[in-house]
Amino acid sequence: GPKLLPLTLKPGQKNPGRIWDKAERLGDGVRWMLRSKITEGFVDEAMPFIDKAAKAGKPFYVNLWPDDVHSPFWPPVNKWGDTKRELYLSVLQEMDRQLGKLFDYINGSEKLRNNTLVLVCSDNGPEKGAGQSGPFRGYKTHLYEGGVRSSLVAWGPGLIKEGRQVNRSSVFSAIDLVPTLLKITGTKYPQGIEFDGECLPDVLLGKSSESRKLPLFFRRPPDRDSFYGDNDLPDLAIRKGKWKLLCEYDGSEVELYNLDNDRGEKKNLAQMNAAIVSSMKDQVIKWHLSMPPDNGHKLVKKK
């Protein structure tokens, strides 16, 4: 894909700066753009690619990953803000405008509109002081819902029933996207590949509120024990149906929440559900030990 690298500019600066000055590692074809305009640069590369595939009657897949809303925030100089929140909202508004160009392009073609599925999602919760986690506890870097739960928007008039639908009950993970999209598009699975995700096409297309059957596991690097003024954050978490358990690497300091009626993770039910705690704790520690080591010991007991 295109190699677009960000330049930064803020009020009072005459010349833009470079976030990364070793672009030669990427080989030929590197192009520098103001970070406040780089999403539109990707959009401008994506549209001819889509057009070429559509004219040839061939399927296409575009993965467009803007990082505008990842701090530090660099909105256009004329939309600068004084606080992290103001900078974030300016960046969000500008990114929305730039992506709108791509969405209008797809929506303006009946062929594309009726045969394209557009997904908009994030990789984690908001950064404190920038976005807001609403009813959920915690922020980015936390294993509480405010850190690991994020929105997924699906749009496809030819595939999804008309009318706005909101699904707050399905347990669906980013790792479920690949097998699900392969099924929706009728694409054969690659030989010799076993996906961690589950295939849930009816959930993604708004036809079902079912959930994945297998549990979801989460892990934090143990050297990052404090974020945003919160200390001693859990290092492991497991979500299985309505239940979510959090604990340390050695299984201590257990927290258990029923997310069906406690989305804010306020009432720790661990002491009242010993069997559930034992089972889920064993599962998450077994998974943790099966994974490659991170930047800490396999088992860490905090002092």
Question: Which pLDDT tens digits describe the chain residue by residue (303 residues)?
Answer: 778 889 999 999 999 998 877 766 777 778 899 999 999 999 999 999 999 999 999 999 999 999 899 999 999 999 999 999 999 999 999 999 999 999 999 999 999 999 999 999 998 999 999 999 999 999 998 999 999 999 999 999 999 988 878 999 999 999 999 999 999 999 999 999 999 999 999 999 999 999 999 999 999 876 666 666 677 789 999 999 999 999 998 999 999 999 999 999 999 999 999 999 999 999 999 999 998 877 555 554 444
Strands 3-8 and 30-34: parallel
CB 146 within 8 A of CB 137: yes
Which residues lie closer than 8 Å to 199 by C-beta, 6 or more apart? 176, 179, 180, 182, 183
The residue extents of the domains of the chain are 1-116, 216-290
| Chain length of the chain | 303
With 0-12 CB in 10 A as exposed, 13-18 as middle and 19+ as buried, what is 186?
exposed
Residue type, 258: N
Q: How far apart are CA 60 and CA 96, in angstroms?
A: 23
Give kind and range of the element (H or E) at residue 155: strand 152-155
Burial of 14-36, coded b for 16+ CB within 10 Å and e otherwise, reads eeeeeeeeeeeeeeeeeebbbbb
Full-model pTM: 0.89
Please give the CATH number for the structural domain made up of 216-290.
3.30.1120.10
Neighbouring CB atoms inside 10 A of 211's CB total 19
